[in-house]
Amino acid sequence: KFVHNNNNNNNRLSTDQIRFSQALGREEEEDIWYDPLLVSSSADRRPVLAGNWKLNPSTFPEAVDLLKLLRGNFINHDRIENSNSEVVIFPPFPYLYTALDLLEGTGIKVGAQNVGLKSSGAFTGEVSASMIRSLGCDYAMLGHSERRVLYEETDDIINEKMKLCLDQPNLQVILCIGETLEEYENELLETVVTMQVKKGLKDITAEDVSERITIAYEPVW
């Protein structure tokens, strides 16, 4: 699940640490706390510490600065490989290649925030699962709440994208699920997330679920 740690004053960060947390996906706000996303995985796999950059930063030079900051903190590959977690960042599409280049040898994985619903063809503006995999991405994120709400992506659409990702060799998928505040207040949490999991994983093999899919619980409130 996504774990948000923002209630402990001991987690207050220095300026460099704040920029580091931003590089892992924490958006800037008046009070900034170390709040990466901790995603639980199956018992025989390492937990995934994932940072979603969303639509940030605004310019390429800013992205390079954040990537260099990450590289400086994780240049010792063993620091991640021998840890209990796998670290992944999800920059916007234009920064993926540079992220892969600058983070090579650090142990940090790079993933895409979304993939298109088709493999190829006349679909202007789309990016396919095969494109991100051939670029070198190890992960794809599907079903994020903002994709579900703002772009009206249904569980069926997410399921189709899931299958396209799993067609790519060794591409890992993070499936985001979670209820809205209204659903939570109406005690529909279990109903909503159960349906999202069932529909999102429809026709997916148990082997793929066990070895290539991480489910991230991300309540929308």
- Tens of pLDDT, residue by residue over 49-83, are 999 999 999 999 999 999 999 998 887 666 677 77
pTM above 0.85, yes or no: no
Q: Look at residues 108, 106, 71, 89 and name the one whose alpha carbon lies nearest to residue 24.
A: 89
Please tell me the distance from the alpha carbon of residue 161 to that of residue 15, in angstroms, as a whole number. 39
Q: CB–CB of 2/217 below 8 Å?
A: yes
Q: Is the pLDDT of residue 193 over 60?
A: yes
Query: Which domains are delineated in the chain?
Result: 46-113 (no CATH), 115-220 (3.20.20.70)
Average pLDDT along the chain = 84
- Confidence (pLDDT) at 44: 64
Q: Which of 86, 144, 153, 179 is catalytic?
A: 144
Helix (H, G, I), strand (E, B) or coil at 218: coil
- Residue identified by tokens 């992220």 is 99
Q: Which of 86, 153, 179, 218 is catalytic?
A: 218
Identify whether 57 is preceded by a cis peptide bond (ω within 30 of 0).
yes
Please tell me the distance from the alpha carbon of residue 171 to that of residue 163, in angstroms, as a whole number. 11
Q: CB–CB of 177/149 below 8 Å?
A: no
pLDDT tens per residue, range 116-140: 999 999 999 999 999 999 999 999 9
Q: How many CA atoms lie within 13 A of 85 on its CB side?
A: 12
218 belongs to the catalytic site: yes
77 belongs to the catalytic site: no
